[in-house]
Amino acid sequence: MYWWRRDFPQTGLKTWGRGRCEENLSCPPNKSPQKSNPLLASADEEEADTCTICLEQWTNAGDHRLSALRCGHLFGYKCISKWLKGQARKCPQCNKKAKHSDIVVLYARTLRALDASEQELMKSSLEEEQMLRKKAELESAQCRLQLQVLTEECTKLHSRVQDLKNLIVQHQGQISQLTGSSQARFLSSLSSSQSQHKYHFQKTFTVSQTGNCRVMTYCDALSCLVVSQPSPQASFLPGFGVKMLSTANMKSNQYIPMHGKQIRGLAFSSRSKGLLLSASLDNTVKLTSLETNTVVQTYNTGRPVWSCCWCLDENNYMYAGLVNGSILLYDLRNTSSHIQELVPQKARCPLVSLSYIPRAASAAFPFGGVLAGSLEDASFWELKMGFTHWPHVMPMEPGGCIDFQTESSTRHCLVTYRPDKNHSTLRSVLMEMSYKLDDAGEPICSCHSVQTFRGGPTCKLLTKSAIFQNPENDGSILVCTGDEVSNSALLWDAGSGSLLQELQANQPVLDICPFQVNHNSYLATLTEKMVHIHRWE
């Protein structure tokens, strides 16, 4: 070890340094070169505790107390003060510009710097890896969910394609024969039973003292009949809602407010218990839970809504028929707006009725879709793959239509016409859905008349009829229509076209609803103020 001195004439300072001989740098032959020299380590520690100007240890008090510049290098206060008062206005170690006011006195008994650069780097890398892992886990979960949904949809579509292929192969040679003999087969198979059972009056419910009731529907899960009515306390709570009538104990329940204007359509979901879909002239479609008696979702359509129904093939979808003839398609999972709009093919007039025909493995008519009936015409919107709809215009008589009803098991629909210059009475025409294939193998859906039921000579109101299975469960079909002249509901046998019964109501019947409770069959008729219940016995 040797010492050296350097003079600085500008400041009058003298600095001392130390060095080592070259022979001391080599390792002794009896020691391994990998082992560290304790003398070197102690020398480094001494250098860390000394001022780099005078090579003396700094103190925590006095003239040579520990100080630092803005660049971070440490010196004794007296040394760095003299250094900066000279001509060199720079840090002795890094040559960065410095001035006397940059000196900061450090109050520390001992000072040792821990090298944490590697630790900070590892910490930053760990946080980055954790963030990337969370992102990858989220993307993986989303992909798994999408894969599950697509797999289920693919399975459904594959099953549907196989059913259609089997039907086409099996019945392609019989299509023409089915069309020609359908009416005769229908009349023979749907002939009413010869039993003496009929509907007997059971009870009357007064729904509204002021009238203006319009539509009703039945909830099998809650065993209740739901009837639209104006608010019973219009001065405090204006608007329209529904009243629940319990069919289990035949008692009237509470009123549930829902809309600002008259309700024109009601339909229960087959998927969610007590979830009621309602359509109103106040430009809204609403979903109401009858388990909590609250409105859970509101969709603004922008135009008055005349009808509504659920999609029976896909549980999350529902349809709303507007005053201009358009159909808005909504998804329960999309709470903001509609997802599709089906534009009318012909006249732009109110859709008085929407009925969904579910898919079925039937050779006569296997397709599913929504049947839309307006005041002028009707269209069947076939539901295709990818949830797209293809329109088929039905061959109906132009004008005078007031109601469309369907019977899903036999694939028939009931169309009611007002009296006109060619027909002097109210007519309800039973139609059978059918189809044929075009040159490209695509179906062309249509319908043809099977039976006609005639009523009275007047029809001032937009009334609703009903087509349903005979309570005898013999495969026959019954048709019930309202008659304004006799203020009654007329019960018809669909097979023979004969009148079976006349159910008095004392006022024009606006809506008809068949239902079952505890294996007993009932028929409800609605007037502007009351509901009449009839039991099949």
The region, left, alpha or beta by phi > 0 then psi within -120 to 50, assigned to residue 95 is left
Q: Is the pLDDT of residue 206 over 80?
A: yes
* pLDDT of 32: 43
Note the pLDDT tens digit of each residue in 372-384.
Answer: 999 888 999 999 8
pTM value? Answer: 0.65
* pLDDT of 268: 94
What one-character DSSP code corresponds to residue 90? B
Cα-trace Rg, the chain = 45
Widest CA span of the chain, in angstroms?
Answer: 135
Across 5-21, average pLDDT: 51
From CA 308, how far away is CA 285, in angstroms rounded? 8
Across 22-48, average pLDDT: 46
Q: How confident is the model at residue 144 (pLDDT cuts 50, 70, 90)?
A: confident
* pLDDT of 250: 82
Q: Under 8 Å CB-to-CB from 419, ≥6 apart: which residues?
A: 400, 425, 426, 427, 457, 458, 459
* pLDDT of 440: 85
Across 50-74, average pLDDT: 88
* pLDDT of 114: 56
Q: Is the pLDDT of residue 116 over 70?
A: no
CB 75 within 8 A of CB 53: yes
For 510-534, what is the HEC assignment?
A: CEEEEEEECCEEEEEEECCCEEEEE
CB 228 within 8 A of CB 244: no
Pairing of strands 378-383, 389-393: antiparallel
* pLDDT of 3: 53
Kindly report the number of other CB atoms within 10 A of residue 1's CB atom. 9
Please state the φ and ψ torsions of residue 131, each to the nearest 5 degrees.
-65, -45
Reduced to 3 states (helix: H, G, I; strand: E, B; else coil), residue 165 is helix
Note the pLDDT tens digit of each residue in 472-482.
Answer: 887 889 999 99
What one-character DSSP code corresponds to residue 223? T
For 177-202, what is the HEC assignment?
A: HHHHHHHHHHHHHCCCCCCCCCEEEE
Note the pLDDT tens digit of each residue in 157-179.
Answer: 887 787 777 777 666 555 444 44
* pLDDT of 29: 43
Of residues 283, 282, 344, 280, the one with CA closest to residue 307: 280
Note the pLDDT tens digit of each residue in 240-275.
Answer: 999 999 888 888 888 999 999 999 999 999 888 889
Rounded (to 5) percent helix, strand, coil in the chain:
20, 40, 40
From CA 370, how far away is CA 279, in angstroms rounded? 16
From CA 239, how far away is CA 270, in angstroms rounded? 27
From CA 227, how far away is CA 210, in angstroms rounded? 14
CB 237 within 8 A of CB 254: no
Note the pLDDT tens digit of each residue in 282-297.
Answer: 999 999 999 889 999 9
Which value, to the nearest 10 degrees, does the dihedral of the CA atoms of residues 418, 421, 424, 430 take? -50
Kindly report the number of other CB atoms within 10 A of residue 134's CB atom. 10
* pLDDT of 30: 44
CB 16 within 8 A of CB 8: no
Which value, to the nearest 10 degrees, does the dihedral of the CA atoms of residues 41, 46, 51, 57 take? 170
